[in-house]
Amino acid sequence: MRNSLKVAKWEINRNMKNKSFIISLLSTPIIFLAFMFVPMLFNSFSADKNVNVYMHDELGVWDAVSEAVKNDEQLNWTLIQSQEDESIMLEGLPEMEQSVYIVLTEEGLAKGQMNMYMSDDMDKSFGNEVGILDELLRQVQIESIGLTDVQKATIAHRVVIVPVYAGETGAIESELKGTVLEAADPMKRIVPGVFAGIILFSIVMTGMMIFQSASQEKKEKVAEIILSSLTPTELMQGKIIGYFILGITQVFVWLVVAFPVVLWKFDFPIVEYLFVPETLLLLFIAFSGYLLFAAIFVGIGATVEDMTATSNFQGMVMMLPFLPLVFIGPILSDPSGMVAKVGSFIPITAPSILLFRLSVLEEWPWLEIIIALVILVVSIWIFMKLAGKIFKMGILMYGKNATPKEIWKWMWA
């Protein structure tokens, strides 16, 4: 183990002194933030533009609308009460800038349709902002038909359809409760899930560098010199540990940059969401995912000397971490469906699918989680053993890339 740690330290130092690693380490969060802020900046440009909202009010809702607009910080309206006739307003509107004319009439209320006229420079999406009037107008509509208070309350109360499987009727109560309580704060699951997902993504990406590192060892013919001081297993372990720490360092740097920005910009209690027991399990899944892929990368990397002549087989191996993307559609539509369950039990797809499911599911399917984790841990053990065998043979084979047939033989040697 001491020797493995020496190798790990070397790999960390070597990469930390490597300009391209440092550049990618620092540039990635900057690029992410740029992607996040540039659209926000454009939005804010358009949002900053004040809209003159002329309102012709026959329904007597002016005060309520003014109050609602005042309370909504997102709206940048200048509300102007218009006494003008509709035809006169329509004549002048094409000449105006950033202006809309909303006509609230009894007739419109009866027909269930109110017109909003916009100047040419207005964006169609402004229609969403006007949604603030919907509820007010509905109230006026209800008032106008002379119902009792009970009837009014009944109509105002929406009917919710709750999906429940036939075998789980007993869960209706909790589902209902869940929709009220949990749905109120889905971030409680999503934030730790996204956090673990970022860690998995980062360490697996860094883990791909193990492939290059093992291959480089062969190409630059250093392997035999190194192996005169330690065993192939120690070398392999050292690489896996080293790149794990590099991956974690990468996440740490990202977080150091991202945390203050998120806290400042979004006023989001991210720390509260993260420091929950669930995060530990999600992190365990992320780390397991890394170990699995690291074993694959280090083993296969030792079979490749010339990266440019890498066969389809090795290329396909590099694509393995992206396999869960194949299942993403069905899992998004039904996180508890058959595809999601099967994906959780396949070692290669399990880490990312589990992280995704556990982020969106309100009730965690503990039995499935335990079975999936047992499969994952056993698979890691088997993959590590096989990777060790491939690494041992592959790292000392000079002059050519190993064929899948050779790799297969080494695995069972």
Partner 1 sequence: MTNILTVKNLGKSFKSKRIIENISFEVRKGEIMAILGPNGAGKSTTIRNIMGIMYPDEGSIEFNGHPENTIPRQKIGYLPEERGLYKNVKVMDMILYLANLKDYPVKKARERALAYLAKFGLEGKDKVSVEELSKGMAQKVQFIASIIHEPDLLILDEPFSGLDPVSQETFKREIRELANNGTAILLSSHQMNVVEELCDRLFMIQRGKKVIYGTMEDVKNDYANFKCTIKGQNAPALLEMIPDVQRIEQNEDVTVLYLTQDVKIPTWIRQLPEELTIQELVIDRISLHEIFIDVATDQHQLQEGGVLNA
Residues in contact with partner 1 by CB under 8 A are: 3, 6, 10, 13-14, 17-18, 216, 220-222, 224-231, 396, 398
CB of 21 to partner 1, least distance (A): 11
Question: Are 259 and 26 spatial neighbours (Cβ–Cβ below 8 Å)?
Answer: no
For residue 55, what is the enclosing H or E element? strand 51-57
CB of 251 to partner 1, least distance (A): 24
How many residues are present in the chain?
A: 413
Select 187 or 227, whichever has its Cβ closest to partner 1: 227
Closest alpha carbon to 391 in 301, 309, 308: 301
Question: Are 100 and 51 spatial neighbours (Cβ–Cβ below 8 Å)?
Answer: yes
- DSSP three-state, residue 289: helix
For residue 366, what is the enclosing H or E element? helix 366-394
- DSSP three-state, residue 97: coil
CB of 10 to partner 1, least distance (A): 5
- Pairing between strand 51-57 and 77-81? parallel
Select 19 or 124, whichever has its Cβ closest to partner 1: 19
Q: Crossing angle of helices 232-266/277-301, nearest 10°? A: 140
Select 103 or 236, whichever has its Cβ closest to partner 1: 236
Q: Count Cβ atoms below 10 Å from residue 102 Cβ, excluding itself.
A: 20
CB of 231 to partner 1, least distance (A): 8
CB of 410 to partner 1, least distance (A): 12
> In whole angstroms, what is the distance from residue 131 CA to residue 358 CA?
34
> In whole angstroms, what is the distance from residue 139 CA to residue 290 CA?
56
- DSSP three-state, residue 103: strand
Residue-by-residue DSSP string for 139-151: HHHHHHTT--HHH
Select 96 or 226, whichever has its Cβ closest to partner 1: 226
- DSSP three-state, residue 335: coil
Tokens for 334? 């039904």
Select 243 or 254, whichever has its Cβ closest to partner 1: 243
Select 20 or 74, whichever has its Cβ closest to partner 1: 20
CB of 190 to partner 1, least distance (A): 41
Strand partners, 380: none
Select 74 or 228, whichever has its Cβ closest to partner 1: 228
- DSSP three-state, residue 81: strand
Select 194 or 227, whichever has its Cβ closest to partner 1: 227
> In whole angstroms, what is the distance from residue 159 CA to residue 178 CA?
16
CB of 345 to partner 1, least distance (A): 38
CB of 19 to partner 1, least distance (A): 9
Positive or negative torsion for Cα 316, 322, 325, 327: positive
Select 170 or 399, whichever has its Cβ closest to partner 1: 399
CB of 213 to partner 1, least distance (A): 10
